[in-house]
Amino acid sequence: MYTEFAVREARGVSPIYERLSLAISGDETILALLEAVPASKRQPNLLLGVVRLLGGPVDDPAAFHEFTVANWRAVQAELRTHATQTNEAGRCALLLPVLASLPQPLALLEVGAAAGVNLYPDRYAYRYGGHEVGSRGPVLDCALTGTAPPTRLPEVVWRAGLDLNPLDVTDPWDLAWLEALIWPEHQHRRDRLREAAAIAAADPPTLIRGDLVDDLPSLVAQAPPGATLVVFHTSVLYQVPAPRRAAFAQLAGGLPGHWVAVEAPTVLAYRGLPPPPDQAFYNVLALDGKPLAWTRGHGEAMAWFA
């Protein structure tokens, strides 16, 4: 898991995490400690985020080892009470081409919303190469190939999110956790999280604590008539057990309105996907079950193929 994370996710994106994750993959002591926590709590992003939350070093593998072993009791406690809830506003740049193409106005319902910063795609600015859309809020850069960039922002008249554990952008501890989840070199992502969090805090969304299968229908029922309902999710289903994923896909595919997914092709399978652009880790953007584009994890690039 740590080798895979280093090579396919961190390489070329976070040299610090690539080096550290490779070191952990050969660190028998830390691997043995991780064996003592549930399998769902062993993933790299969670361990590295927890150590950073506790003030531990991540830029030197030896110092990381020393800190993590010495503070294992605290690290383990945080691993057990936290989950990876990276809330990445940059992913709105992946959603915009689809959202802008749908009949307006929109009623947005995000599944696995974390703190809900992706519920404000109409309040951010976007830069697809030299093409800019919107002029307020953080600028979200995305290298887009294979299709023309969107030319308008969506008009959003309703927004609501569903999450097993909604985070509160006005709570300093929740924000500290969201920041600890951002990879060390990515100051631009910390900056845009703060900007996006301020936008969300000024007009907080409805965030419901609940499960994406059991509690989705009742939230859908609250969407206003007269707006195009868009149920969407980004980087959520890898956290959901396979049978529940299948139940969710069936439910989402049968809802009124549209279903937009940005998920790994290993968790939502599609027929006839073209080969990805390269060996890096890509998600797939899909509209109503039809795959449209390969997308990078934090919204930094998308290659349209439909």
Ligand X SMILES: C[S@@+](CC[C@H](N)C(=O)[O-])C[C@H]1O[C@@H](n2cnc3c(N)ncnc32)[C@H](O)[C@@H]1O
Q: Which residues bind ligand X (CB under 6 A)?
A: 83-88, 91, 112-114, 118, 162-165, 211-212, 233-236, 239-240
Least Å distance, CB 194 to ligand X, is 15
- Closer CB to ligand X, residue 151 or residue 170? 170
Write the Ramachandran bin of 235: left for phi over 0, alpha for psi from -120 to 50, otherwise beta: left
Smallest distance from the beta carbon of 209 to ligand X, in angstroms?
Answer: 9
- d(CA 161, CA 118) in angstroms, rounded, equals 9
110, with CB counted inside 10 A (0-12, 13-18, 19+), is buried
Q: Judged by CB, which is closer to ligand X: 229, or 251? A: 251
Q: Least separation, in Å, of the C-beta of 43 and ligand X?
A: 11
Least distance in Å: CB of 58 to ligand X? 19
> What are the CA-CA distances from residue 179 to residues 58, 83, 87, 230 (Å)?
14, 13, 9, 28
Cβ neighbours of 32 (radius 10 Å): 9
Q: How far is the CB of 28 from ligand X (least distance, A)?
A: 29
DSSP result, 66-86: HHHHHTHHHHHHHHHH-----
> Nearer to ligand X by C-beta: 58 or 200?
200
Give Cα 88 to chain centroid, integer Å.
Answer: 5
Q: Which is nearer to ligand X, 7 or 247 (CB)?
A: 247
Nearer to ligand X among residue 93 and residue 114 (C-beta): 114
